[in-house]
């Protein structure tokens, strides 16, 4: 029987676009390891990420809405899965490497803080060199989890945000898929929460992309696929500007609305209190960053209550 990995590598070479990143051409890992007979190198990376503790903790980390009462609000884990779905759809349509795309998408937010971007902004304000979740995600797979991923996956994780451009077209797909995912599912969650209704979303965006989440996502992915040229991954200018306009609308009306700002101060208080407490215990700044960033929402709240909320006396 021929080695399944070699069969997969041959199928990639015969069927994928000339611009695709082939598994057999990976730049390799920081520490060399023997090949797997069953899986390509990018498939192994995907599996390593899925089986990591940091990936499992994403289910208890906020996406946008803190401690929502309903069961249907997104978490950081479901956001990650939606990014992976969107990115894989685009990668398959463009005949790029779907395994590499999926691995990057599944790992892109492993370093995200508890309490969503409120937590990220809070931790950023306390760190001497600032805090950026994409950099922390790379640190998570490299140092904390020691996943020893391929260079292509590491680069895609680092470059999914922050203005960097990924070296591979697969990494560049994930960067756009991330925006497509959170803009659309956050609209859905905001409507569910009663912060928005369909009439609030400006007509210039609904007329272009559609009223439903599925319509909007499909139209954005279609623009991405039809406008990309070889390794140049992009939406057409009009649709990209419209998508970013919709993103701006969400920042003004959802992410920074009154309720969100009230929670922001509460999050800042929790993270500030924990940061100062661990500093007094003699932990280094990097140790504290790693520990707090790795917390789930409920663990951070539990740690705060344990150390800063008075306990009742049993008399």
Task: Specify whether the CB–CB gap between 135 and 111 falls below 8 A.
Answer: yes
Q: Which residue has the tokens 């990976």?
A: 26
> Over the Cα atoms of the chain, what is R_g?
21
Q: Is the pLDDT of residue 85 over 70?
A: yes
- What's the pTM? 0.95
Q: Which residue has the tokens 């994780």?
A: 157
- Mean pLDDT is lowest, of 25-34, 220-229, 249-258, for 249-258
* Dist. CA 75–CA 59, nearest whole Å: 6
Residue 86: HSE in the Cβ half-sphere, 13 Å Cα cutoff: 34
Task: Specify whether the CB–CB gap between 2 and 8 falls below 8 A.
Answer: no
Q: Residue 288: is it exposed, middle or buried by C-beta count within 10 angstroms (0-12/13-18/19+)?
A: buried
Average pLDDT over residues 271-290: 95
CB atoms within 10 A of CB 33: 10
Q: Show me where the domains of the chain are located.
A: 42-292
* Dist. CA 20–CA 91, nearest whole Å: 9
30-81 confidence digits (pLDDT tens): 999 999 999 999 999 999 999 999 999 999 998 887 766 678 889 999 999 9
Residue 202 in 3-state DSSP?
Answer: coil
- Mean pLDDT is lowest, of 3-7, 78-82, 128-132, for 128-132
Q: What is the CATH number of domain 42-292?
A: 1.10.3210.10
What is the chain's mean pLDDT, rounded?
Answer: 94
Residues paired with residue 150 on neighbouring β-strands, in sequence order: 29
* Dist. CA 56–CA 50, nearest whole Å: 8
């Amino acid at each position: 029987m021929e080695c399944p990995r070699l069969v997969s590598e041959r199928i990639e070479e015969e069927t994928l676009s000339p611009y695709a990143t082939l598994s057999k051409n990976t730049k390799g890992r920081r520490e060399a390891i023997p090949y797997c007979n069953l899986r390509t190198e990018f498939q192994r990376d995907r599996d390593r990420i899925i089986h990591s503790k940091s990936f499992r903790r994403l289910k208890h980390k906020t996406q946008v809405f803190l401690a929502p009462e309903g069961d249907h609000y997104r978490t950081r884990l479901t956001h990650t899965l939606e990014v992976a779905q969107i990115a894989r759809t685009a990668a398959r349509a463009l005949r790029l490497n779907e395994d590499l795309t999926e691995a990057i998408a599944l790992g892109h937010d492993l370093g995200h803080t508890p309490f969503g971007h409120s937590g990220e902004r809070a931790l950023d304000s306390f760190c001497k060199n600032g805090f950026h979740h994409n950099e922390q995600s790379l640190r998570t797979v490299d140092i904390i989890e020691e996943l020893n991923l391929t260079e292509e996956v590491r680069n895609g994780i680092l470059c999914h945000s922050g203005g960097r451009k990924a070296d591979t077209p697969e990494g560049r797909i994930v960067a756009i898929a991330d925006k497509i995912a959170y803009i659309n599912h956050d609209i859905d969650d905001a409507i569910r929460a009663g912060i928005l209704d369909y009439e609030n979303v400006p007509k210039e965006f609904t007329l272009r992309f559609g009223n439903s989440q599925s319509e909007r996502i499909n139209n954005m992915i279609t623009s991405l696929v039809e406008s990309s040229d070889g390794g140049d991954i992009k939406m057409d200018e009009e649709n990209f500007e419209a998508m970013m306009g919709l993103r701006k609308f969400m920042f003004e009306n959802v992410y920074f609305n009154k309720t969100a700002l009230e929670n922001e101060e509460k999050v800042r208080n929790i993270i500030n209190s924990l940061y100062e407490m661990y500093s007094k215990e003699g932990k280094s700044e990097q140790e504290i960053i790693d520990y707090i960033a790795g917390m789930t929402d409920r663990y951070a709240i539990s740690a705060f209550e344990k150390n800063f909320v008075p306990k009742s006396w049993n008399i």
